[in-house]
């Protein structure tokens, strides 16, 4: 194995105007190992210096595989690495992503090194890696447009700083340059929340209404595209507050990616086989999609936010747009759209109320989002019902 110790490795931290070198004081600062209110008790600390040292060891110990990934990203053209930037980006409840930026003579290639140092993080990181591989194989070229390529996984030993050695599990995947988190914010309005793109290169900016709605449409399209209408498997849980979706936005063009897949399984089961089971399951998926897509934490970490009413139309457009794409890919049958619209046309408002009650009843009673959902649910159901009727009417007309 070639371990190129001579290659310069720079330790950086993400900032509002791009990465900056980390001073020693910053390197000595502990990283947050769990989110506020997390149930898992963490009895140790790891500093940014130790964290980035673990990423450095992972990259250099697996340099042959890193170089293979670089060459693959460069169209198979062999590259010579000049230097490496390791950038501390953010921290989640399960693991901690760092950007690995590879400088070559002719290219700048970025990856993400997802790092887990807790027992829960290890399990979820391995599952995320496996599911990314599975979904890219299951849906092929379609999914490769909005899911990152997972490359390889491994582990290294790290010094916790108090004399103990800890294991860090890490996987390397594609980093989408120019894509950033986005979150609801009330900074420019006291009534309707804006969507703010956290562009750490050009600065955070408030998205236009059209850009915001396109983000919701594309995110809904992605989740619907990954939904299996025959097995009822879906990507869930996901949450805007966790940064599971990222977006690029320049010159009114918006593009969205899904970067985390925690689970992929069926959330509904039926006691008896019935041809309408998949219609009921798809309706439950859609109802949950319309609710979850409106939820976020204000400014990413604050109180629960609720996207304005226009979000509903964008979610439904993304859902309807994805169904024909699934049919064209011979996934879930050629008549899925027609069958579902026929099914929806028979639903009353009370039927839809029962569906949403079932969806909300599945939420954790202690979830901080739940009171916000309950507050807005009656109006939300009516809006969804009206828009579904319009969709069915358009089809029949």
User: Tens digit of pLDDT for each residue in 319-352?
Assistant: 999 998 887 765 555 689 999 999 999 999 999 9
pLDDT of residue 327: 76
The position carrying tokens 């992503």 is: 97
- The per-residue pLDDT of the chain, averaged, comes to 90
Between 279 and 120, whose confidence is greater? Answer: 279
In the predicted structure, residue 103 carries a pLDDT above the cut 80: yes
295, two tokens: 């939820």
374, two tokens: 């309950």
Average pLDDT for residues 98-103, to the nearest whole number? Answer: 97
**Rounded CA gap, 64 and 66, in Å?**
5
**Rounded CA gap, 58 and 115, in Å?**
10
Which pairing describes strands 205-206 and 264-266: parallel, antiparallel, or unpaired? unpaired
**Rounded CA gap, 223 and 322, in Å?**
9
Chain segment 171-227, per-residue pLDDT in tens: 999 999 999 999 999 976 667 899 999 987 778 889 999 999 999 999 999 999 999
Chain segment 290-314, per-residue pLDDT in tens: 999 999 999 998 999 999 999 999 9
Instruction: Domain ranges for the chain, please list them.
Output: 9-174, 182-396
Radius of gyration of the chain (CA): 22
**Rounded CA gap, 251 and 232, in Å?**
38
**Rounded CA gap, 309 and 171, in Å?**
39
Average pLDDT for residues 40-69, to the nearest whole number? Answer: 88
pLDDT of residue 36: 55
β-sheet bridge partners, residue 152 = 172
In the predicted structure, residue 43 carries a pLDDT above the cut 70: no
β-sheet bridge partners, residue 47 = 30
Average pLDDT for residues 62-69, to the nearest whole number? Answer: 96
Average pLDDT for residues 271-299, to the nearest whole number? Answer: 95
Instruction: Give the alpha-carbon dihedral of 157, 84, 262, 299, to 10 degrees.
Output: 110
Range in 15-19, 143-147, 167-171 with the lowest mean pLDDT? 15-19
In the predicted structure, residue 395 carries a pLDDT above the cut 50: no
Residues in the chain: 397
In this structure, how many other beta carbons lie within 10 angstroms of the beta carbon of residue 315?
28
pLDDT of residue 397: 34
- Element housing 211 (H / E): helix 209-225
In the predicted structure, residue 92 carries a pLDDT above the cut 90: no
pLDDT of residue 128: 95
In contact, 115 and 158? CB cutoff 8 Å: no
Average pLDDT for residues 250-262, to the nearest whole number? Answer: 88
Range in 242-256, 294-308, 329-343, 355-369 with the lowest mean pLDDT? 329-343
In the predicted structure, residue 109 carries a pLDDT above the cut 90: yes
pLDDT of residue 331: 55
In the predicted structure, residue 41 carries a pLDDT above the cut 60: no
pLDDT band for 94, please (50, 70, 90 cuts). Answer: confident
């Amino acid at each position: 194995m070639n371990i190129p110790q001579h290659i310069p490795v720079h330790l950086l931290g993400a900032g509002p105007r791009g990465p900056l070198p980390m001073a020693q004081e910053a390197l000595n600062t502990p990283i947050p190992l769990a989110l506020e209110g997390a149930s898992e008790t963490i009895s140790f600390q790891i500093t940014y210096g130790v964290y980035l040292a673990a990423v450095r060891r992972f990259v250099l110990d697996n340099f042959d595989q890193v170089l293979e990934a670089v060459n693959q990203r460069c169209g198979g053209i062999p590259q010579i690495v000049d230097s490496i930037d390791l950038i501390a980006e953010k921290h989640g409840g399960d693991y901690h992503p760092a950007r690995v930026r590879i400088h070559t003579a002719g290219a700048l290639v970025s990856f993400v090194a997802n790092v887990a140092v807790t027992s829960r993080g290890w399990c979820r990181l391995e599952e995320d890696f496996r599911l990314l591989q599975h979904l890219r194989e299951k849906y092929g070229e379609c999914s490769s447009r909005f899911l990152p390529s997972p490359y390889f996984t491994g582990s290294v030993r790290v010094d916790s700083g108090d004399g103990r050695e800890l294991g860090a599990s890490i996987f390397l995947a594609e980093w989408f340059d120019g894509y950033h988190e986005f979150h609801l914010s009330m900074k420019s309005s006291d009534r309707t929340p804006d969507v703010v793109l956290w562009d750490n290169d050009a600065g955070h900016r408030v998205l236009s209404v059209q850009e915001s709605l396109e983000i919701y449409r594309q995110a809904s399209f992605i989740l619907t595209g990954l939904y299996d209408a025959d097995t009822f498997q879906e990507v869930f849980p996901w949450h805007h507050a966790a940064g599971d979706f990222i977006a690029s936005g320049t010159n009114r063009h918006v593009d969205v990616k899904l970067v985390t897949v925690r689970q992929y399984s069926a959330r509904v089961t039926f006691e008896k086989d019935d041809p309408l089971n998949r219609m009921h399951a798809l309706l439950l998926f859609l109802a949950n999609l319309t609710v979850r897509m409106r939820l976020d934490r204000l400014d990413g970490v604050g109180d629960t936010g609720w996207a304005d009413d226009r979000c509903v139309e964008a979610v439904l457009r993304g859902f309807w747009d994805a169904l024909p794409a699934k049919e064209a890919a011979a996934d879930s049958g050629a008549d899925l759209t027609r069958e579902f619209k026929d099914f929806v046309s028979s639903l009353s408002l009370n039927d839809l109320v029962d569906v949403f009650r079932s969806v909300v009843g599945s939420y954790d009673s202690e979830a901080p989002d739940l009171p916000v959902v309950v507050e807005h649910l009656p109006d939300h159901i009516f809006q969804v019902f009206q828009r579904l009727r319009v969709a069915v009417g358009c089809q029949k007309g």
